[in-house]
Amino acid sequence: MTDVPTAAPPTLAEGCAEPPATRYDVALLDLDGVVYVGPDAVPGVPAALATAREAGMRLGFVTNNAARTPDEVAGHLSRLGVPADPADVITSSQAAASVVAGLLGAGSRVLPVGGPGVAAALRAAGLTVVAAAEDRPDAIVQGYGPDVGWPQLAEAVVAVRTGARHVATNADATIPSPRGPLPGNGAMVAVVRGVTGQEPLVTGKPDPAMHAECVRRTGARRPLVVGDRLDTDIEGARRAGAASLLVLSGVTDPATLLAAAPMHRPDLLSADAAGLLTGHPPVVAADGAWRCGRWSASVAEGGGVLSLAPAGPDPRVDQVADDGLDGLRALCLAHWSSHPDEGVPARVVGADAAAADLLTGWGLLTTATRR
């Protein structure tokens, strides 16, 4: 049997023998689901980021959450043990305000829909904030806010219907929370779009402007985007030409990762942002399978099913300690190499009880079966 794949392998295959904190000079960190979930820090992440800083890595914070001002975000981070200055924070409200000012000119009238961070960013960009559709806004800027409800959405609908440009800070359908995913700005944007029939201009991630601004502020030469969302963080990194680290502490789960489209496939993978401090193993093709650490993944049963099995020692892939995700890395390469141009949901089986237990632990219970 020949080695796979026939196409060039995805970049996850390369790994990173050294800790990313020593290879990359700046981490461009998403916040919700990466540094914190709700009001609380992801366990262990503040200490990990402090260690990354000690290793010489600088931190920038790039968030699609438009609800708060950079000062509020920096204060929250500092209280969680991640010291931050407002200048270290780029919000999607700032990106939207810059786009609107560029399109419509300083002083243009804008109706904010969202948390206080939206209006603050508009004022800082020299725009005129108005309170209602009757004020004849030139645009509305819609961003996440926990108190957004029918009155604000109604004003937005009326304003768009009477000619205002609809600008959205992001289209994230969900936000992470301690109770699981909750409706994000994209869900609210869909309400306005559905009623008006007008497509909004979306300015947040994955548009590369936010990452580019953070690179400009930090002077990064080798940036690494760290995020929990495939369609914003990982795609945004690819569009900005930066490397990416996906963490599983937010909204993306292993099944979603396996089904990722090419633009959504990360370069590195870890359970959380502590992955900045450890090496990442390569994934190598051998004998019709993909090997990572002590796990092997192959395409079985006519190409429709993936099989995960334990594998013996191999010096090419045993140089980095197993962080519990080696099997998932192998599965990703096996599946993505079979579908190089599209994202396709995966069916997975375990070759033995140990493999089935691992798959079950990753939340693949419905497809993890012992063969």
What are the residue boundaries of the structural domains of the chain, listed by start? 18-64+206-277, 92-202, 279-361
pLDDT at position 304: 76
Confidence of residue 312 (pLDDT cuts 50, 70, 90): confident
Share of the chain above pLDDT 70, in %: 93
Confidence of residue 301 (pLDDT cuts 50, 70, 90): low
Q: Tell the CATH topology of 18-64+206-277.
A: Rossmann fold (3.40.50)
Print burial letters for 91-104: b (CB count within 10 Å at least 16), e (below 16). Answer: bbbbbbbbbbbeeb
Fold: same for 92-202 and 279-361:
no
The bridge status of strand 284-286 relative to strand 289-292 is antiparallel
Kindly tell me if the per-residue pLDDT of 99 is higher than 80. Answer: yes
pLDDT at position 6: 33
Kindly tell me if the per-residue pLDDT of 345 is higher than 60. Answer: yes
Confidence of residue 278 (pLDDT cuts 50, 70, 90): very high
**Of 44-53, 114-123, 281-290, where does the model show the most confidence?**
44-53
- Find where tokens 């109706």 sit: 111
Residue 106 DSSP code? T
Q: How many CB atoms lie within 10 A of CB 132?
A: 12
Q: Which of 32, 172, 231, 233 is catalytic?
A: 32
The CATH code that applies to domain 279-361 is 3.30.300
Kindly tell me if the per-residue pLDDT of 69 is higher than 80. Answer: yes
Q: Which of 25, 30, 341, 352 is catalytic?
A: 30
- Specify the DSSP element, H or E, that contains 76: helix 70-79
Kindly tell me if the per-residue pLDDT of 320 is higher than 80. Answer: no
Q: Tell the CATH topology of 92-202.
A: Rossmann fold (3.40.50)
Tens-place pLDDT, residues 6-34: 334 447 999 998 999 999 999 999 999 99
Q: In what order do the strands lie in the sheet with 305-310?
A: 284-286, 289-292, 295-300, 305-310, 348-350
Which of 109-113, 150-154, 214-218 comes out lowest in average pLDDT? 214-218
pLDDT at position 367: 47
Active site residue 30: yes
CA–CA distance, 329 with 286 (Å, rounded to integer): 15
pLDDT at position 4: 31
Burial of 272 (0-12, 13-18, 19+ CB in 10 A): buried
Share of the chain above pLDDT 90, in %: 73
Look over the chain and give the mean of its residue pLDDT values, rounded to a whole number.
Answer: 90
Confidence of residue 287 (pLDDT cuts 50, 70, 90): confident
pLDDT at position 177: 86
The bridge status of strand 174-175 relative to strand 182-183 is antiparallel
Residues 286, 287, 293, CA angle at the centre, nearest 5°?
A: 40
Three-class DSSP category at 68: coil
Q: What is the mean pLDDT of residues 235-242?
A: 92
| Phi, psi angles (nearest 5°) of residue 138 | -75, -25
Q: What is the mean pLDDT of residues 121-140?
A: 96
Rg (CA), the chain: 22
Residues 87, 239, 343, CA angle at the centre, nearest 5°?
A: 130
CA–CA distance, 119 with 112 (Å, rounded to integer): 6
Residue 350 DSSP code? E
Question: Amino acid identity of 179?
Answer: R
Tens-place pLDDT, residues 87-96: 999 999 998 9
Burial of 77 (0-12, 13-18, 19+ CB in 10 A): buried
